[in-house]
Amino acid sequence: MKRRLGETMDVKPDPEEMQEGSGLQQVATLVAQQVAAALVAPLTGGSAARFGRVAFGAQEQESVNAFLHQKLGKDSLARRPGPGGRKLTYIESCKAIELANRAFGFNGWSCHIVECKEEYVRVAAAVAG
């Protein structure tokens, strides 16, 4: 049964329902146990610690590989003005996330910066006067 937030504000638990062993108490205990397990799992090598270490099956690997080798459509690309009047083509972050979710599924991928280095720095010469 769905209730609006305003309706749930006026609902007060019945003291008889809160007795030890009641259904409401059991549900609260189960929820607390699941939350505790989810918080402790990364520390004890749970599913979060295994992320990225489970290999794809042969069929799944073939399917993902075929998807990743497709050319991006014009709807996935954006353009903006660049230096010298040229137009730069790029993929927006929201489109990249959408494509990653389509390829690997929601929560089936992650991103992190592997390397960040400065390749070119333009230094203006100072004129002493």
Size of the chain, expressed as the number of residues it contains? 129
Q: Is residue 116 part of a domain?
A: no
- Any domain includes 22: no
Q: Which domain holds residue 91?
A: 77-107
Domain count, the chain: 1
List, as one string, the DSSP characters of 93-121. HHHHHHHHHHHH-TTS-------------
pLDDT, mean of each 10-residue run, the chain (129 residues) = 43 51 70 71 52 76 86 88 89 88 83 80 71
**88 falls within a domain:** yes
Gap between the Cα atoms of 61 and 64, Å rounded: 5
* DSSP 8-state code for residue 87: E
pTM for the structure as a whole: 0.45
- For residue 21, tell me if it sits in a domain: no
Whether 97 is covered by a domain: the verdict is: yes
Note whether residue 53 is domain-resident: no
Residue 36 located in a structural domain: no
